[in-house]
């Protein structure tokens, strides 16, 4: 550590420049492990906060320990033996003066341990108490032999850090001890103006960090764990401000970009509407108008279109695309998977072909000559509407005059990918307008935090004439009854889906399971025609099967979750979902949206495997109790983190380190005001703030 403490006051010590390797007990191995967690400097270490805390400051008398809770206990070893039952274990009986006893059980132990845990020794140990076969016990407690000279319990709560293999909690405590000592010499820069902090009653950064690493004993554990403590709020707030600053800078930058003005004469749009078998709903009319207005502006539209499954987003997208075409521009539609893009190509084709427009599909499977020809059609402008996946973002895809990009399923699309679209260029070096569609029901408040760089349009009502879906959860030991139910439905002339899911992330295994299920069901339902679709079929085969099902020549369609995307068969009124507990609520909701598209009442049976965990029970209850994607999302949010609900964790929408967009929602308005104030009055703080919290992810704002 000697190199850290220069004698001269110059240059000042900056913890964001001090590598962790300069700390004691950080060799190449530890440094590498820390690096895995993104910790390279002492400041990184300070921002690596505990996930939870333990109260090891209070000794619990052995007679008072409760199963299911963690406790610090002290006592004398009454007996110790190696038991050779089904699993060899070391059993140590601990007793106290009151005569109460507790069993400590070790399944892994060394000869030294056995030798040291002698009858008569005093032991202090910590761990989770549970009800064992004979008595209360702690398995693998942390323990220490007590000597008469040992002082009492600590004065602070014990932090537990998120860790990685090979780093013990004791190492974390040692490392953060050093970092906290250094922080006393050199605080990380305070990037929030004092006025803002004072008005919110929040502590300074240094106070907050010191507190969160070593909370004093009187701190409410509950408040800490819920993230409601002001020290926590201080950091969450700073992070929210950093994101708001970054998003605002992105917006400012966008304002400086020109976009083609798409003010066509409405001819194509009118023809499309005239040919539709239905009238737009009021909600569709409203969002169509919002989008149409944006497209006539000289700045690129950045709009998020939300609408539940089946809300009718496709026709809205088609109208927007036609508006671009009327103005002489091209339009592109991107979907996250090839299957979805294919589906869009087909449905869009259905809408616009009668207007003399043939959409072009570009996918990964187009290779060699075929790809060349397609690229040529895109570059020359011969292809007016182009449908594809991310493949459209590749460098060799050049448009002639791209006016509008429509992205389906935003939540699988990263912010930076969205930004990359700009490079695809509109006319005269401008950027294309962007419409992002999602069926993921993000509550409005959350959407404003996660997608603060987007305007929001919502289709908040389904087209008329849909009958509600009844959903029930059935344990899989009643599979026979469920199969009978399928038989009855099919005999009544209806069709059904049977959806197979698997724990393994292996497509091959999932397909195998589906094949097996299809075989069994064909056997059990001899009168019915059973089809099978899964991700390994060639797209032509899959299409053919779907077409048969749509035409009614198949009664039952066994499928993997591939049918999640856009199948529309109104006569299908029954869906069985196996192992629904393995799917996210959003995905379940999407799947279920495949039924209830016709005029008969539809049913969805969730065939679960008992016993369900409490959370799983609660989640299936949510699905059963609601058919509104928004309501489901709101309630799912309440029991899980936002990232999980939205599937954003893997997918590149904004991710927070400390803030929780749901929990910290009340802080958002203040964070927005603070961001404005920083940009106008303290612009020098903006860049370090964004760098601290978004780090390498900052680049997404600067394409």
Under the binding rule (CB under 6 A), the answer on residue 311 touching ligand ADP is yes
Under the binding rule (CB under 6 A), the answer on residue 375 touching ligand ADP is no
Residue nearer to ligand ADP on the CB measure, 310 or 580: 310
Under the binding rule (CB under 6 A), the answer on residue 589 touching ligand ADP is no
Per CB under 6 A, the list member of 141, 215, 310, 701 interacting with ligand ADP is 310
Residue nearer to ligand ADP on the CB measure, 193 or 570: 570
Under the binding rule (CB under 6 A), the answer on residue 309 touching ligand ADP is yes
Smallest gap, in angstroms, from Cβ of residue 429 to ligand ADP? 33
Residue 262 in contact with residue 274, Cβ under 8 Å? no
Smallest gap, in angstroms, from Cβ of residue 314 to ligand ADP? 3
Under the binding rule (CB under 6 A), the answer on residue 442 touching ligand ADP is no
How far is it, in rounded angstroms, from Cα 170 to Cα 177? Answer: 10
Q: H-helix or E-strand containing 437?
A: strand 433-438
How far is it, in rounded angstroms, from Cα 41 to Cα 2? Answer: 16
Subset of residues 272 to 291 that bind ligand ADP, contact rule: CB under 6 A:
278, 280-281, 284
Question: What's 469's DSSP letter?
Answer: E
Under the binding rule (CB under 6 A), the answer on residue 107 touching ligand ADP is no
Q: Which residue is nearest to ligand ADP (CB)?
A: 312
How far is it, in rounded angstroms, from Cα 284 to Cα 330? Answer: 23
Q: With CB under 6 A as the contact rule, which of the stretches 307-315, 398-406, 577-585, 628-636 interacts with ligand ADP?
A: 307-315
Under the binding rule (CB under 6 A), the answer on residue 315 touching ligand ADP is yes
Under the binding rule (CB under 6 A), the answer on residue 652 touching ligand ADP is no
Phi-psi region of 140 (alpha: psi -120 to 50; beta: other; left: phi over 0): left
Dump the DSSP string for 56-101: -SSBPPGGG--TTSEEEEEEEEEEEEEEESSSEEEEEEEE-TT--E
Q: With CB under 6 A as the contact rule, which of the stretches 126-134, 141-149, 313-321, 542-550 interacts with ligand ADP?
A: 313-321
How far is it, in rounded angstroms, from Cα 119 to Cα 505? Answer: 50
Smallest gap, in angstroms, from Cβ of residue 570 to ligand ADP? 8
How far is it, in rounded angstroms, from Cα 305 to Cα 292? Answer: 13
Per CB under 6 A, the list member of 178, 314, 341, 501 interacting with ligand ADP is 314
- Residue window 515-554: x/- pattern of binding to ligand ADP, with contact defined by CB under 6 A: ----------------------------------------
Subset of residues 444 to 503 that bind ligand ADP, contact rule: CB under 6 A:
463
Residue nearer to ligand ADP on the CB measure, 341 or 672: 341
Which residue, among 97, 76, 98, 93, has the nearest Cα to 135 in the 3D structure? Answer: 93
Q: With CB under 6 A as the contact rule, which of the stretches 49-57, 305-313, 423-431, 488-496 interacts with ligand ADP?
A: 305-313
Subset of residues 562 to 581 that bind ligand ADP, contact rule: CB under 6 A:
566, 568
Which residue, among 41, 332, 72, 305, has the nearest Cα to 178 in the 3D structure? Answer: 41
Smallest gap, in angstroms, from Cβ of residue 389 to ligand ADP? 17
Residue 415 in contact with residue 606, Cβ under 8 Å? no
Cβ within 8 Å of residue 610, ≥6 positions away = 475, 476, 477
Residue 520 in contact with residue 461, Cβ under 8 Å? no
Under the binding rule (CB under 6 A), the answer on residue 596 touching ligand ADP is no
Question: What's 317's DSSP letter?
Answer: H
Residue 302 in contact with residue 434, Cβ under 8 Å? yes
**Applying CB under 6 A, which residues contact ligand ADP?**
278, 280-281, 284, 307, 309-315, 439, 463, 566, 568
């Amino acid at each position: 550590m000697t190199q850290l403490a220069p004698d001269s006051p110059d240059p000042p010590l900056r913890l964001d420049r001090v590598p962790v390797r300069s700390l004691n007990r950080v060799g190449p191995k530890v440094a590498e492990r820390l690096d895995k967690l993104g910790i390279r400097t002492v400041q990184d270490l300070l921002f690596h906060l505990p996930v939870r805390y333990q109260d090891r400051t209070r000794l619990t008398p052995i007679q008072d320990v409760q199963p299911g809770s963690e406790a610090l206990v002290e006592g004398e070893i009454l007996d110790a033996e190696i038991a050779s039952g089904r699993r060899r274990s070391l059993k140590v009986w601990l007793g106290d003066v009151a005569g109460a006893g507790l069993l400590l059980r070790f399944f892994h132990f060394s000869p030294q341990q056995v030798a040291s845990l002698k009858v008569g020794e005093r032991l202090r140990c910590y761990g989770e108490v549970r009800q064992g076969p004979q008595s209360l016990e702690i398995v693998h407690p942390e323990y220490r032999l007590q000597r008469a000279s040992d002082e009492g319990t600590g004065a602070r709560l014990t932090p537990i850090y998120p860790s990685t293999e090979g780093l013990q909690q004791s190492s974390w405590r040692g490392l953060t001890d050093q970092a906290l000592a250094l922080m006393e010499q050199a605080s990380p820069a305070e990037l929030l103006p004092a006025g803002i902090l004072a008005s919110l009653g929040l502590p300074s950064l240094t106070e907050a960090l010191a507190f969160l690493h070593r909370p004093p004993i009187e701190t409410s554990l509950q408040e800490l764990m819920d993230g409601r403590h002001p020290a926590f709020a201080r950091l969450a707030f700073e992070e929210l401000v950093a994101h708001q600053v970054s998003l605002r800078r992105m917006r400012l930058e966008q304002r400086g970009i020109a976009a083609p003005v798409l003010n066509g004469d409405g001819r194509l749009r009118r023809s499309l509407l005239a040919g539709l078998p239905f009238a737009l709903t009021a909600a569709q009319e409203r969002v169509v108008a919002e989008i149409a207005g944006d497209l006539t502006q000289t700045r690129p539209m950045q709009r998020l279109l939300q609408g539940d499954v089946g809300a009718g987003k496709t026709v809205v997208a088609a109208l927007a695309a036609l508006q671009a075409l009327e103005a002489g521009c091209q339009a592109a539609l991107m979907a996250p998977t090839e299957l979805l893009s294919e589906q869009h190509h087909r449905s869009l084709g259905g809408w616009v072909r009668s207007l003399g427009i043939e959409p072009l599909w570009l996918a990964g499977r187009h290779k060699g000559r075929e790809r060349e020809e397609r690229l040529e059609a895109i570059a020359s402008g011969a292809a007016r509407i182009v449908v594809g996946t991310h493949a459209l973002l590749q460098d060799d895809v050049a448009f002639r005059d791209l006016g509008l990009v429509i992205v389906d399923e935003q939540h699988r699309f990263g912010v930076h990918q969205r930004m990359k679209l700009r490079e695809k260029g509109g006319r005269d070096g401008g950027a294309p307008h962007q419409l992002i569609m999602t069926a993921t029901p993000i509550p409005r408040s959350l959407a404003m935090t996660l997608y603060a760089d987007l305007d929001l349009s919502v289709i908040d009502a389904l087209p008329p004439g849909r009958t509600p879906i009844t959903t029930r959860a059935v344990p899989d030991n009643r599979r026979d009854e469920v199969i009978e139910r399928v038989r009855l439905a099919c005999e009544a002339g209806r069709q059904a889906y049977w959806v197979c899911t698997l724990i393994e992330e292996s497509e091959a295994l999932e397909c195998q399971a589906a094949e097996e299920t299809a075989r069994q069901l064909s056997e059990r339902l001899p009168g019915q025609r059973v089809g099978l679709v899964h991700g390994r079929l060639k797209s032509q085969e899959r299409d053919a099967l779907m077409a048969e099902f749509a035409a009614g020549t198949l009664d039952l369609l066994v499928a993997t979750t591939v049918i999640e995307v856009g199948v529309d068969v109104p006569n299908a009124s029954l869906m069985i979902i196996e192992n629904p507990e393995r799917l996210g609520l959003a995905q379940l909701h999407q799947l279920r949206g495949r039924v209830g598209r016709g005029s008969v009442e539809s049913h969805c049976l969730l065939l679960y495997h008992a016993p369900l965990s409490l959370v799983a029970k609660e989640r299936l209850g949510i699905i059963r109790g609601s058919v509104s994607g928004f309501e489901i999302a709101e309630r799912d949010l309440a029991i899980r983190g936002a990232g999980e609900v939205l599937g954003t964790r893997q997918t590149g929408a904004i991710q927070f380190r400390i803030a929780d967009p749901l929990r910290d929602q009340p802080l958002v308005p203040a964070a927005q005001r603070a961001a404005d104030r920083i940009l106008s009055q303290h612009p020098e703080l903006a860049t370090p703030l964004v760098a601290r919290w978004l780090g390498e992810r900052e680049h997404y704002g600067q394409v």
